[in-house]
Amino acid sequence: MAETGNSVKSALYLPAFGPLADPVALVELARRAEAAGWDGVFLWDHLLADGPVEVSDPWVALGAMATATSRMSLGTMVSPLPRHRPAITARQAGTLSRLSGGRCVLGVGIGADEYGDFSRFGEPTSLAERAAMTDQALDIIGAIWKGGPYRGGGVDLPEIPPEPHRIPVWVAATLPHVRSAHRAIKHDGVVLLDPELKVDAEKVRQALSIIGPTEKPYDVVVTGNASTAWGDDEKPGIGPLVEAGMTWWAECLIHYDPLELSMRVVDAGPSALTM
């Protein structure tokens, strides 16, 4: 079984949609999140949303958030590598890492077309093609960060300066589809996603069983809603997930409108999470 970290960290996980597409609002959210004790803020990476609402670029927003914070981890969760040029993603993440003093985490996946991010822009929609593109992109990104050289898939990378800070890579997986979990084995963590935000302790154990033994601490990230600050129905506790091996809980601000409600969850901090 993978060696997970000794303590659980808590983050915010949100779309840069609607009111949260305002970069000024995202910077304010990051300031308040750090003050409230959150360990990280991670942005979705989309071109379109679920309706005619504004969408912002995550990397530009994360750069601004980095200058307003000093402690929290920051990154995308997750970037769909098949619709990104891997060399550009490598440079975006590397720049954020240097700007933030080594606080960047790159979350990646094969992407989803629920909003038309692929099909409406002529990008490949085949799962097999996107999976192959993701695997190659991860190789290229890793080579750029390490300083090359790398040759393959039309890329001819010479030796270049390596990134000064190590950038963890978390790979998205949706169980029971195991190929994505297998892809995560070579990297630093797995993000367990579920369309209904219902990843349970059994799925955490299943993921760790697939990952197997690791030589270094390995992160298992679960997203959902567990904050009492939402003020609605009783939330399921995260205690069983922690016992199963989760290392990061990512509170999802999927209810991004009204903005005041999301900010209430931000200000309540991790102490409002039900165990």
pLDDT in tens, the chain (275 residues): 465 554 899 999 999 999 999 999 999 999 999 999 999 999 999 999 988 999 999 999 999 999 999 999 999 999 999 999 999 999 999 999 999 999 999 999 999 999 999 999 999 999 999 999 999 999 999 999 999 999 998 999 999 999 999 999 999 998 877 788 889 999 999 999 987 778 899 999 999 999 988 888 999 999 999 999 998 777 778 999 999 999 999 999 987 788 999 999 999 999 999 88
The answer for residues whose C-beta is within 8 angstroms of residue 81's C-beta and 6 or more apart is 89, 108, 109, 110, 111, 133, 134, 137, 138
Cβ-proximal residues to 143 (8 Å cutoff; 6+ apart), any chain? 149, 150, 157
Domain 9-268 sits in CATH at 3.20.20.30
Tokens of 151: 């040759």
Structure tokens at 138: 């991860």
In sign, the C-alpha dihedral spanning 245, 248, 217, 83 is: positive
The candidate with the shortest Cα–Cα distance to 214, out of 236, 245, 192, is: 245
CA torsion 159→160→165→171, rounded to 10°?
Answer: -70
Residue with tokens 């959150």: 38
**Residues 189 and 170: beta-carbon distance below 8 Å:** yes
Global pTM reads: 0.94
Q: Output the six-digit token pair for 77.
A: 């969760």
* Residue 116, SS3 per DSSP: coil
C-alpha to C-alpha distance for 98 and 165, rounded to whole angstroms: 7
Please give the structure tokens belonging to residue 153. Answer: 């898939």
